[in-house]
Amino acid sequence: MHAPLPAPSHEVTDSPSRPVGRLKRWVIGVLLLLGIFALLVGVKGAQIVAMIQAGETFVPPPESVTSAKAESFGWQATQGAVGTVLALRGVTLSAELPGVVSDIRFENGASVKKGQVLVQLDASSERAQLTGAEADAQLARLTRDRVEKLHSQGANTQSELDAVRTRAVQAEATVAHLQTLIAKKTIRAPFEGRIGIRQVELGQLVSPGNPIASLQSITPAIVEFLLPQQALARVKQGQKVRLGVDVFPGNSWEGELTTINPEVELSSRSVRMRATVPNADGRLLPGMFATVEVLAEASHPVVAIPATAVLFAPYGDSVFTLSEGKDAAGKAALLARQQFVRLGERRGDFVEVTSGLTAGQTVVSSGVFKLKNGAAVVLNNALAPPVEAAPQPVNP
């Protein structure tokens, strides 16, 4: 008999179609991603193109500015400088002789007259010596008179007469010397002025040269300043001078140029000058820093604009003039045209234009920093700040 045959196996191996299906799914997924990416790129590109086209056709709105006209003024030419206020006369009083302060006859900061007694040093010893010296002088005079009378009668010799005369002169000299010592112990004001803070006290022993107080004559005041040597062709004695100090803003004093030094300082090539300024109220004190303007004798015409109208730049200063024209959209508008200028002297809120503008031209007075050449603008002069040649700022 034959053995039975084995039963057939039911295990199924992987079909070759499965890897192909999986690859198809990957391909389809990648294609979908690429499609989405392409769609996004297309949308974004369309947006960028639309923005570029909108930018090319965009017309910026006009800027709001204020305006001013270039005006012709008659300005008096000035030479500016910085200087120092000095006293007309000023000294530091001191004792010439040693002594003890026995009396003080002034108040700190008081005004004193010429010859007024300020400090008295003890001179009791000198006065006692003076009494004896005056008695000796009186006796010497009587002796001289008696000997001269006898000499006229031939009762004595010439040598005796000469001796008594010499004695009388010596006695008078001793008296004068003691009187001088007493006078020097009385310290008086050498001129009228204002005295400073005293530096001695009653009972203090002072030595020769010890300071007692400062005495300054400040009416009128003197201001000393330097100008470059080129200014000698434009200034002369007698010209008007205007003075200001930062201690009193908004106040000025007018005086006269009184002294021009006859030499040029080698270190600075400048000339030292002095002006005399009335100082009736005494507000100008020695040592104050001052700004000085030497005024020319005649004025000259200038074209000036507000300083706020100037766009300052390293490559050159410029302004924006206003004229009628068409904007980028072709509509009628007021346009700002940039124009370079040369500037001169500045005075208050105004600045001189030496070239680049003529009187009567209209310029942008505020808002120049936001403009470019050819920009359209609208005027709103209701907001324009006041422009003054001599502004008076007020502290809040």
pLDDT band at residue 342 using 50, 70 and 90 as cut-offs:
very high
Residue 369 falls within a domain, yes or no? Answer: yes
| Token pair of 3 as six digits | 């053995």
Supply the DSSP string of 340-386, one letter for each residue.
E-EEEEEETTEEEEEES--TT-EEEEE-GGG--TTEEEEE-GGGPPP
- Same-domain check for residues 177 and 201: no
Does the pLDDT at position 186 exceed 60?
A: yes
Number of domains in the chain: 4
pLDDT tens across 85-113, in order?
A: 999 888 999 998 999 999 999 999 888 99
Q: Are residues 178 and 194 in the same domain?
A: no
- Give the confidence band of 84 by pLDDT, cuts at 50, 70, 90: very high
Q: Which domain holds residue 104?
A: 96-121+186-209
Span 244-260, mean pLDDT?
Answer: 90
Query: Are the CB atoms for 67 and 362 separated by under 8 Å?
Result: yes
End-to-end CA distance of the chain: 133
The full DSSP string for 270-334 is: EEEEEEEE--TT----TT-EEEEEEEEEEEEEEEEEEGGG-B--TT--EEEEEEEEE-TTS-EEE
Confidence of residue 57 (pLDDT cuts 50, 70, 90): low
**Whether residue 100 sits in one domain with residue 201:** yes
* Neighbouring C-beta atoms of residue 310, cutoff 10 Å: 20
Residues 312 and 278 in one domain: no
In sequence order, the 6+-apart residues with CB closer than 8 A to the CB of 186 are: 117, 119, 120, 121, 123
Tokens at residue 296, please?
A: 């020319």
> Which DSSP string do the residues of 82-108 spell out, in sequence order?
EEEEEEEEEEEEE-SS-EEEEEE---T
- Domain assignment of residue 306, yes or no: yes
Q: Are residues 131 and 115 in the same domain?
A: no
pLDDT at residue 6, as a whole number: 54
Q: What CATH number has the domain bearing residue 375? A: 2.40.420.20
Are 102 and 200 in the same domain?
Answer: yes
At 197 the three-state DSSP class reads: coil
Question: What is the average pLDDT across 286-300?
Answer: 86
Look at residue 277 and tell me whether its pLDDT is greater than 90.
yes
Residues 145 and 229 placed together within one structural domain of the fold: no
Q: 209, 242, 263 — which closes off a domain?
A: 209
pLDDT for 278 equals: 92
Instruction: Say if 51 falls within a structural domain.
Output: no
Tell me if 393 is assigned to some domain: no
> Is pLDDT at 285 greater than 60 in this prediction?
yes
| Predicted pLDDT at 370 | 86
Q: Share the mean pLDDT of the chain.
A: 85
Distance, CA of 318 to CA of 389 (rounded, Å): 21
276 found inside a domain: yes
Mean pLDDT of 371-389: 80
pLDDT of the residue at 16 = 55
Strand 289-306, strand 240-244: pairing: antiparallel
Regarding whether 356 and 254 lie in a shared domain, the answer is no
Q: Are residues 295 and 343 in the same domain?
A: no
Domain termination site, one of 265, 299, 333: 299
pLDDT for position 392: 60
State the CATH number of the domain containing residue 134: 1.10.287
CATH code at position 290: 2.40.30.170
The reported pLDDT for the residue numbered 1 is 44
Q: Which helix (H) or strand (E) holds 66?
A: strand 63-69
